[in-house]
Every structure is written in C-alpha cells, then in structure tokens.
Structure 1
C-alpha cells in the first residue's frame, strides 16, 4: 500500500472538455465523425508538469518552465510529506498554541513567542519583491502544486487530514519557513533563550523542560561526511563524489529525493530539506556537490551593562540606549477548546533580541543580546538554484561569489573533468582584529563566561562598545559578514573532504591557514571520525580503500564509505588486547570482573562496526569510559600527544600501564562489561542484535557508530526535532548518554540519511544511493520502510538520471499535471 499516490499507475489529468472528447471517442469507436472544434478552447494552463515515479518513490519531474517544475515538485512532495511542512509553517507563524494548546510544559507557548520575536513572516513578505524573478517563479509554482494536492480527495487520507490548520499555504509562508531553516545553527539554537528573556521584577517566567535555553550543536546528529575526488584519485580520471549527510530520521530535518528537468534550462537530481524547492545536495551533467555542517559561528552573543534602576536601558560607547519593546499576544487553546490570551513584552537591543542563557540571565546589572548572521538571509533558494544550473565549476563558484546564500555548511564539489573544490562559504561574522584579540584573551581564562560559552560554540563579545560590532566590507552578502573572497576555499585535482571539523585540513597536503577563528580553529586535534575519513582517502596499499593504485572505482568508493572501520580500534585495539590478556581482571562498581571473555572477543574482532561484528559494542563502551577529550590528545588513553605537523597520525600509542597499582585500562574495560550486562547484553552479542531502528514493531539491524567509535557511517539517537506530529521513537532507560546505550540496546533514529556515491563517465553521471528512512514519514506508506533493509544489507540502489534509465524502470508510474 502506498497511500496518497494516484490510484492508477498511469494517470492523465486533462481539462474537462478534452476529457469528455476522449471518453466519447472510446465509447463510440474510431469510425464516428470527429466532433467540431471547441469554439472557445480553454486557456492554456499556467503550469504543466509530468511526474514519473521510479522505484522507491523518486519523482522525476519534467516541466515546460521553472514555475511548472516547482508545481510538479510541490505536488509530489505533498503526496509524501504534506503534514510535516504544514506543521512547520504553523510553528514559524507562531500559532501552534492557537491550534494545539500550550503543549507539555508550555512548549508550544515558548516556541510561539520565540518565533514571533524573530518575526520571519514579516521579513519574508518584505523581501518577496526583491527575490529574483526565476526564484519567485519556482516558489510560486511549488506553492500552487502543493495547494493543488491539498484540494484533491487524495488529501483526505493524509495523517493530519481534518485538522483546522491544514489549509493552503502562501509564498510568504514558504519563504518564511526557508528563513527558519537558515537559522538552524543560530536563532533556532536560541529559541528557549529568546522565550525566557524577561526583565527582572516582571514575575514572568517561561522555561519549559523540553526547550533548553541553548540547544547544543552535536555534529554526530546533524553532521556529515563529504568527499570530492578528482582526476588524480579516480580510476577513470573523472570526478567522483560521496554525499553522506547525517541528519535525523524523524521530524522536519529529514531529506527528500527528486529530479527536476526543464529542457535546455535545468536538469538536476538530489535531495533537499522538506519543503525546499529544488535540490540542496546533488548533481547535474556538469557539477556534483555535497555539504557538511560547519561548526563556525553563525551568531555572536553580546553582554550589555544595564543602567542602574532601568533594566531595559544599557550603556553603549558611554551613552545610554533604550531597548525596543514589543508586546506580543498569543492565543492559546484550552482543554475545552476555548481560546485564552497570553501577552508578554519582549525586548531588543540594536544588536538583536535579548536572550537569557543558563548562568547569564537578565539581572539588574547585566543582560545578553545576540546578532544573527542568517536572520536576513534572503538568498537561500537563489543560491541553490544557481548551483543547480551551473554548467561548469567556474559558474558554480561564481554563484557563491555573487549570491552568498549558504547558511551553515561547507561545500565540496567535483566535475567530469576531474577538478575538485572546497569552500566554507557559510555566513560568518566579520570581526575586527581588536575584537578577536580581546575575545581570545578572555577565552584563555577557562572560568570566564567567554570560555564557558565557547564550549557550546557561542562567541560572547562586549555589547557596550562599537569595537565589537561586525566589520562591514565590500563583497559580503549582508553587511558585517566575511566576504566570500576571504572565506576558506581550495581547488585541487586529487581530493577535498570534510567531516564537520574546521576548514583546516580540507586536503592534508595543503592546509588552509590564516583565516578568522570564527570560521573554526586551525592546528587543533581532529575528531576520530575526521581521522578515519582522511585515512580512507589517503592510504595507498593493496588492502587499502582505493587499492594499490590509489585510484577509486565506484565500487571501491561505496565500500569505503560503508567500511565501518574504526579509527580508534586501528590505533589501539592490538595494544588493548595485549594489556587485557596480561591483566584479565578489573574492578568497577565495587566488583571484581573477570575479563577473559572480553579479551578473547576483542582479540577476534576485526575492528569494524558491521551488523555481524562481535566486539564492536564492547569497544564502544570501553572508549566511552574515557572523556571525549581523551580521544583528541595525550592523557589517560594516548601516550603520544597531538601534533599539528602530524594531525592525522596523532595522538597515538596506548598509554602504558602504571608501574604499580591496578591497571586503569582493565578497570575501564570492566566498567564496559558491566554496562553491557546492565542492558542485558553479553560481550559476545553481535552489533546488529543490539543496534537497530524500528519500523512499527519490526527491528531492522543496523551497522555504523558514533564519533566515539571513529567510523564514517554515523548512527545514533536524536530527540531534538521540533515537530508536533511525529512522536520520537521510544527507547528504554538510558544507561550511557555518550553512546546511547539503553535497556533496549542502541535504538537508532538518526545518522546516515542520504548516502550517494557518484562518478562521472563518458556517458554522463552514474550514481548509487540510499535514502535510509525513505521518502515518506507516513508509517502506512511503503515509502516509509522500503529502503532501510537495503541499507542494513548494504544493497545500494542505482539512481535513474538518464532518460533511458527512467523509462526502463519497472516501477514507473506517470502523472500529468496542469494548473494555475
């Protein structure tokens, strides 16, 4: 069953007059006289598109123009995920409490207030006329196609059908939602901090448990791997790409796959976030690209010293400034269906909204404000549409220079000619040298507010001085951002990559240095996952990822990204086994633990995180017994410290056992054994029997790991989605928050989401992929469950891009659309 798709595998939607003629011809036969032409033929529809669904529900949309392409894409998307987008638009409007009630711990009230403060619909409405004509055409078509589906009887089968908030959307609604996506690593992290910001003495408090003041950035949950290989590292001498975003499998940050063709103007395939027209990660005949989340700063926070007795006035360059006050009233649905009103006044400095963070709230002496690099980003769709239409790497790069709409990601790209390019062109505050020096001095004190907030990737500046304002320079997308010409970027012929560390080692042979620390740190330890990615890309040996010739075939590329090799195991496993066998007992939780079986399991383990791997779970729990910082430098685990001159091979070497006393490694291993036992697991349990995703009541065994494991293929658990529709996958009591171990094992709902391996050939692009969780969030749909098992078995599916491959697909179904 695949609900919400057209009931016939082939359906032709015609204008009523033409449909009547066709039926008459069928009923009377070919010998009947032909009817007279309609003296008043209906006008040509504004939008005309054909949707062909191939296997796994991928829509291939062919259209006469961009508006029609948007129409077809909006319609196809609504078939799969209309409810999710409608819920998100309700969120961005700040109307969840109006339709859904206050929510647990007033969660809906808090998010509504925060989004009303950000005021994204007003910003979208004001900027709509400034959008390029082709972007308005694409968005308007998308909205029309989406709304067309909502008007059909098929929409009555949507999971959200009948809800009062299920209604047509507007261009402003959709554009405002795109603004919200641009704030994922800035304003969206601060929703709780915005909602909770109230002056002292007002008695107004609002801090629901489910909306922390500061949402932490966890790149194991919204991170990625991206590889672009050039002529020197590919078997064919042409470009290759690995796209491997690690995003949630539930909620609004899922990805959706499609193919858009406007003959002679556009032919692009890939994925995008839900509700975004076009393609965000993908390829055309000339360029293939992917993205990874950048850990650079997307906003700066500011301290504001307050005027005594006036908590809404602050000092700036020795003068008093008054904050701007804005009363906001929400309607909140009560349990009996009636509506009540809640009013609060929110304040802004000239930097932006006032925020309240843990430990630095709003006192009589001090408060905080923040400035957002993406709040005024009007160019998201313009950016990606330009990338999708690029006919060369030079045109692709020019979009970055001219538009500057990348919000929070690194970019890796490759071409048929075998040129590869990396850039961290994400919106980044441009700070003066004096500002950076003052901030660095403060951060050097580990007890300072600046140092504490930096651990959460927040840059805290002095809001009382013009010295710390963002510096305006020509060439920036918006005033105060670093111009593209000064962003980290690198073009080569071998490879570039990123795994959510900074720009520094996009290619280890040519480090990128001398850039603002707001982009990210240089010369600092890399994560175990980055080290594993680099190992796969740089090793040249017979048993290496690319073989003895050092040139990848497409199959070798697929095998490499899903090899599930562990960098920590390759560095330490042999020495750990030797130490374990020398000291086969350890102490943990007041118990003496026999480690004989654990030693044997690790000795037999191949260091991989496959579904049949025995020892992977034990190694994971052993590594998590150390702090994450211990995996990055010398300390209790490594003997040889990190060296900037050898960043991919250091730290290394297991720290020796103390000359006297108990072996701390044995005690850590004993703790790992007991942790697994607490979950009802033996040290010999294969990974796939304890690591799985749920599809209904069915468990699907999964391979992969987290950053602590040092594997490329990430999987984990994420409960941070901001949706009112999809309940988070349940799991038992958490026994280890660093690994996600619960009484139910390792329950997975996040990680490798879209995975694509691509090569350019003499006949065009050839690619294979997974969309692990499928095209639809509806559990009743086949598209909800039909790819996860293939991913579990590493059975890649081919991507149909060429016309002959689309036409030959045995699952092909066609829908022809017309509308206005």
Structure 2
C-alpha cells in the first residue's frame, strides 16, 4: 500500500503527558525530529510506533547507504552485487563476500529469528520493541520513497541497484548479528570453510576496546553519580554509533549512542540513571570436540547421532548459483576447519538465539533508579558480550558482567577438557574445547537464568561501591583495587593476571584525581575535571620506562645496525643521540603536537623482538609482573638486554633512512578524513587509544585511523537534571557530502566536547535548531 505524502511542520512539538496506547491510533505514524548543533536528532512521539518511525527516518537522512549495504550483507547477497572474492563490509572481522553470504544465508535458513519472534517476552521481543522495529523500518522506507534511489544525497549508493526498501526481518537479523558479534559472527570463515578475498594481506585481530567509569558520591564533588563512557568501536561501517535522543513524554526520555540499524540506545542516560559498557573477557561460546562415527555422524554417550545438513545457495554476478553444504550438530554448527577422520568440532554459542539485548537496553532506558536498571537486567538477561557500569542520582556506582556466559564450572572445564585431547581447531581461538562425546559435558543450568545453558545473575561478577567502579577491558577482578573480585567461575576470566597498560593508566588517572595529585585542583571529580582527565593523552609505558631509557641513552650513544629479518637494512652503526634527545624532551603525552610520541611508538613496537634470528621473544620489562602488586608492575626498561638497544637503534635508523623527522607528531602522522587525530595505541598504555590500518610508512604516515574512542560521554547526574558532554569522534553522518560528516571529528581533534541539550528548554534555546514533523501510515 502506498504511503500518504509526508507532512512537514516547522514548529516545536508541545510535549503532552498521556498514556501510550497499545497501538498507534488509526494505524498512523507520527513523530517530530528536532535537530540541534552538529545535526544531533531529538525524536519525540506519542507512542513506540511513531518513535521508531521518526528514528528510522532521521537515521536514513544521515546514513542510509551504510545500512543499505549491511542489509545486502544480512540477506547474503554481497557476491551478487560486489563479487564473491571482494571483502565484505563487516567492520569487525571482514571476510570474503562468498564466506559472508554463505554464513548469513545459513542463519536465515536456520529459522532462529522466526522461532524467537513466535515466543513471548522475555525470550521473544516485547510488544514495545516490535513496534519500535516496525516503525523504524517504515521510517527508513518512507525517507527512501520520498527521496528516491536516484536522488540520494550520498554518492556512495546513489542510483545503485542494491538499494531498496528494508524489512523488519532485516532489522531482527541485524539485532541477532550484533549479539553474535564476538562469537559466531566472528568465525564465518571457520564455519563455512571459505577463506580469502581479493585483498589477502594479513589482518590484525581486532582489539577489544572501551573504557568505562561509574563514579559514586564519594568520588564526586557534588555527591551524585557520574559516568564516563568511552567505547572503542570501529570508525566505519555498521558498528558505528549514532547520537540520538528518543522521547515519549511521560514514558521514555533517553539520550546517548545507538549502534547503526538498532532502534534503542546502547550507551546513554535519562534524567536519573546513566550507564555504559565495555567488552567482557568472559567466554561467550565453547567448542565441542566431536568423536566421529561413520559418515557424517558423531557419537554421544556411545550412540551415533547424524549431523544435520544445510544446503545454501549464493547467487553470483553472472546469475549462476554457488552451492554449499554446511553441517550442524546438537551443539551448533560443525566447523568446516579442523576436521579429521577421528574428530570434528562444533561451535556452541551462548548468543545463538539471543534477541533479548535490545529489550534490556530499552528497559534500562526507562529505569528511574539503579535498582530498576538492575531489575531490567535480571528480567531480560540479554547482554551479549559486555560489562555494564552504571550509576544514578543517589551516587551509587555499579559494575556487573551480566553477559551471556556458558554454564561451565571450573571442575567441568577441567574434567571435560581432559578427555578431549588436541589443540583448538581455530588458531588463536580463546575458548574451552570440551568433550562432545558425553552428555556429562553439556552446559549446566542455573535456576535464576532466563534460558538454559548460561550462568544466572547469582553467579555473575558484580560490585556496588560508594566511590567508583572502572573497567578498560581488563577482567572483572580489578574493578576497584580496594575490593578485588574473586571466586567466580574462570569462564568469566582469570584473576591475579597482568592488568595491561591501558587499564592501569585508567585506574591511576582515577587515583590521582581522587587525591588531587594530577594538578587539576581539589580532589574529587566534577564534570570539568572528568573531561580534563580524559583529555590528558598519557602514555603509560613511556612514563614507566622513561628513567631507564634516559639511563640507556647516557651509557649507549650508538648501537649496532640491524640484521634481523624484516628490520631496516644493516649499517655500520646507528647513532641514537638525536633520538634520545627527542624522547628526553617529550612530555609523554600523545597530543597532536607531541614531538616524540611517534618515535616512542615505533621504538616500543620493536621491543620484544629478538635481537638475532632464531632467538626467542623477550620481555622488555625490568621488573616483571607481580600479582601482589598489580597496579605498579611490570615496570622499568631492561636496558641491559641487547634487544632493547637494538630496538632503539632500529627505530632511529628507520626514521633517518627515510628522512622522517624524529620529532614527527601524531598530528602529522595519523588522521581520519584528512583531519589530524591525537592519541596512541593500546599496547603503549593509552587510555583513549587509536588504531590505524597498518604500520608507519616510509613517508611518515600511518594508514587512516579505523578504531578508537567513538561515542564519548561524560555525564553528571544531579537533582536538577543531567549535565552532559559528548563527542562523536567520526561525526554523525557517513555521507561524505553531509555537513555533519566530519564536524565533530574536527572538534575531537582539538579536544572539544558538545554540550548536550536534553530538556525541551535546552533544545529550544539552540540557535541552530531545525524541526520537522513526519507522518505516515502502516
């Protein structure tokens, strides 16, 4: 049925407090979109249908091409339009289009989404979420119909045959794929057995990113709660954040970051509660080793079970069809890799049938207190792979790993692994490999778990404090050093392990602020000192190694030339005096003008490499890690190791050989869309780290920044309402023709923040305000 013409009203919506009807009145959609500075949309509607409609319309205005491309991916049609060997648009772990298509068609063919939609909440979606999704789809399609594919403002997909209307099924598949992001969706090539693309360069494993602090009343000057959100997600593709405020007067009023193609806010706040997430180190899947019987069958408890067969067909550019057969088991898909005559492996994913995350985020957005937020998490139990850190106006700080973790006790893991010899079938796969030949190794069940096979809330690591909780992708045990968390199943992560430099610098930043030792004034956090702390750009490894490095510089003015494979060409000797002078003058901050920051990165990246071929990798730390001193070890630089001297010589030689200034700064070496980007890398111990697409080139430039701080939010909850500062590092729109393609990127580059407009009065006071009201029919 053709939609009615779009109606646009250039006026502010007058808020109305009324109950939300069970369905949109008369089968119509209506929403008002108010855009403030940097194009940030504030969507208001009287019901969930209209709210979804307004959100889908606003998002399509800014980012239709990104979602249109991803819908092609979810439907398994990339090979048809872009060729089977080209790289997919998955921003986390791209594979060939053919591998992507086979995987996504297998998910669609499994019927998992259809079965979940037939279930009532909490296992299936709530009525509110279904209406949001339907409205979002209608809003996106309305914008596309009104604009026309041939007239889209984004040249990326203007006039392309693969652009068209989307369906609710597409959106449910996107929500499922998001929940599987660090599990099944990360192993498309292993599941399908299809590897390779037109670009066969090795790709680094994506580093888990994000920093999060929840500050309680004892840590803040005002006595209320504060949250710092600093997720480190990809800067391109479907896993970018979109900044939005979603309001149903009297029912819902939430502002924050929403991942592309989802109708809910994942990281944000309302008037009384704020929350954020970091990627958890817990296991979210296991691998089962299958004992093969005759043909495509395997044995469980001595009896043969046939493997399921799934036939998948992918259409190629010339219209021909490529057929593929995938095998399944009672545990999950049988991996196409690692198979022998005796064994095969199956992937058991705790998020295989999880659509509950979106409902959990929606319920958290409605929470009026920390207790209500925790109740939302207990009700839905849908967090796929993240920790939650939150606070409220009362000033209690809260941490929990409520992610879905397979119910494998430590004793079971040991017992089942002992009878399952052999390495993991996927190199680098960090998960339990369990014996699939006995039902004694099936996942267990907790009585308080919504679904079987996962740990329930009573077994999850959690901590509530009056001062703070923090996480930077370390395991849960050092959430607050004053109260180490221990005693939880190892499936949630190890305790007593090296924190890594980034979590250490984050905890040190908090400690210095609480003591006032950071030079930012009286102890305790204010919104302003929280912003200043994050902008510090400290490089912890330099701080920990600087004194020893300068000692090395005083005693070794030159070092032998390089002779190791992959290093600079050997020479008679490498004079490191200029490099030492540069590093000696550097203040250890990875700011745009940090002369020495890039030289340190290149030196540090070479540390640990053997001095001679065949020698083992070495640790550059003078003082090794001590689990009794996790905040201060490891430390120092092992200057007597020839590998350390060699690394300094190699770095200096690389700069000199390529005529790169030793004073090269981050602002000169790294950028995004031609805008200089400050910051340094994960390994160096940088809080708001960046990652580029490869190493430093001979022209003194890194490939474009592709991951790092994405949607940054600092919020203070007060009795008078929230005070919030944000910055969307890559800006609101992926459309290169949009005025909001790089405006916040330029702001981020110079250390700026956006003052959020949350209340109707704050929104109305924006001199850049633009308002439209959009209507449509079901």
Q: CA deviation at 1:293?
A: 1.0
Structure showing greater Rg? 1
Does the 8 A contact of 1:735 with 1:742 survive in 2?
A: no
Residues 2-401 of structure 1 mapped to structure 2, 5 A cutoff: 11=10, 46-104=28-86, 107-119=96-108, 122-130=111-119, 131-153=125-147, 156-157=151-152, 158-159=154-155, 160-196=157-193, 206-209=194-197, 218-219=206-207, 222-307=208-293, 310-334=294-318, 339-357=319-337, 361-401=338-378
SS of residue paired to 1:104: coil
TM-score for both structures, normalised by structure 1: 0.85
Which residue does the alignment assign to 1:705? 680
The answer to whether the Cα contact below 8 Å between 2:448 and 2:458 also exists between their aligned partners in 1 is: yes
Matched, 1:819 2:776: yes
Question: SS of the counterpart of 1:253?
Answer: coil
Cα distance in structure 1, aligned partners of 2:266 and 2:609 = 32
Alpha-carbon distance in structure 2 between the residues aligned to 1:639 and 1:757: 37
Asked if residue 570 in structure 1 is aligned to residue 543 in structure 2, the reply is yes
Distance 1:493 1:123, change over 3 A: same
User: Any idea what SS the aligned residue of 1:362 has?
Assistant: coil
CA contact (8 A) 2:219 2:467 kept: yes
Asked if structure 2 preserves the Cα contact closer than 8 Å seen for 1:691 and 1:702, the reply is: yes
CA gap 1:652/1:613 in 2 versus in 1, 3 angstroms: same
Q: Give me the whole-angstrom Cα distance separating, in 2, the residues matched to 1:670 and 1:213.
A: 28
Q: C-alpha distance in 2, partners of 1:741/1:231? A: 50
Distance 1:741 1:116 in 2: 43
In structure 2, the CA distance between the partners of 1:626 and 1:271, relative to structure 1 (3 Å rule), is same
- The 2-side partners of 1:705 and 1:386 are apart by 36
CA distance in 1, matches of 2:289, 2:203: 19
Residues 10, 616 of structure 1: alpha-carbon distance in 2 compared, 3 angstrom cutoff: farther
Cα displacement (A) at 1:108: 2.0
Deviations 1:180-213 (A, max 9, x none): 11110011111001111xxxxxxxxx32247999
Structure 1 residues 555 and 454, CA gap change in structure 2 (3 angstroms): farther
Contact in 2 for aligned 1:690/1:745 (Cα 8 Å): yes
Among 491, 506, 515, the alignment partner of 1:533 is: 506
SS of the residue corresponding to residue 450 of structure 2 reads: coil
Kindly indicate whether the alpha-carbon contact (under 8 Å) linking 2:502 and 2:687 is maintained by their aligned counterparts in 1. yes
Match of 2:607 in 1: 626
Bigger mean CA deviation after superposition, 95-104 or 319-328: 95-104
The structural deviation recorded for 1:121 is 7.8
Pair 1:571–1:9, CA change in 2 (3 A)? farther
Two-structure CA RMSD over aligned residues (Å): 2.8
Find the residue that maps to 1:174 and give its secondary structure. helix
CA-to-partner distance for each residue in 1:456-496, whole Å, 9 max, x for gaps? 32322222222221112222232101112211111011111
In 1, the alpha carbon distance for the partners of 2:203 and 2:290 equals 22
1:647 CA displacement: 0.7
Equivalent position to 1:689, from 664, 668, 677: 668
Aligned to 2:18: none
Residues 371/327 of structure 1: CA separation in 2 closer, same or farther (3 Å cut) = same
Task: Identify the residue that residue 27 of structure 1 maps to in structure 2.
Answer: none
Distance 1:538 1:615, change over 3 A: same
User: Equivalent residue for 1:795?
Assistant: 752
Once residues 610 and 35 of structure 2 are traced to their aligned partners in structure 1, the CA distance between those partners, rounded to angstroms, is 47
1:605-684 matches, within 5 Å, as 605-627=586-608, 636-655=619-638, 657=640, 663-677=642-656, 680-684=659-663
The correspondence of residues 451-470 of structure 1 with structure 2, limited to 5 A, is 455-470=428-443
Superposition deviation, residue 626 in structure 1? 2.1
Q: What is the Cα deviation at residue 123 of structure 1?
A: 2.0
Equivalent residue number for residue 91 of structure 2: none
In the TM superposition, residue 744 of structure 1 has moved relative to its aligned partner by 2.9
> Given that residues 234 and 240 in structure 1 are in contact (C-alpha distance below 8 angstroms), is that contact kept between their aligned partners in structure 2?
yes
Q: Quote how far apart the aligned CAs of 1:570 are.
A: 1.5
* Counterpart check, 1:750 vs 2:747: no
CA distance in 2, matches of 1:476, 1:116: 30
Q: Against the structure 1 CA distance between its residues 523 and 439, is the aligned structure 2 distance closer, same or farther, given a 3 Å change threshold?
A: farther
Q: How many angstroms apart in 2 are the aligned matches of 1:440 and 1:640? A: 34
Residue aligning to 1:524: 497
Q: Which residue pairs with 2:690 in the alignment? A: 715
Query: What secondary structure is seen at the aligned counterpart in 2 of 1:614?
Result: coil
What's the counterpart of residue 737 of structure 2?
A: 780
Residue aligned with 1:749, SS: strand
Equivalent in the alignment of 1:409:
386
* 1:532-573 per-position Cα deviation (integer Å, ceiling 9, x unaligned): 001001125876348564301111111111211111111111
Show structure 1 runs of 5+ residues with no match: 1-5, 15-42, 197-205, 719-733
How big is the shift at 1:233?
A: 0.7
What is the alpha-carbon distance in structure 1 between the residues aligned to residue 147 and residue 754 of structure 2?
A: 33
Q: Which SS does the other structure have where 1:375 is aligned?
A: coil
Cα distance change on mapping 1:763 and 1:588 into 2, 3 Å: farther
Cα–Cα, structure 1 residues 185 and 216, in superposed 2: closer, same or farther, change >3 Å?
farther
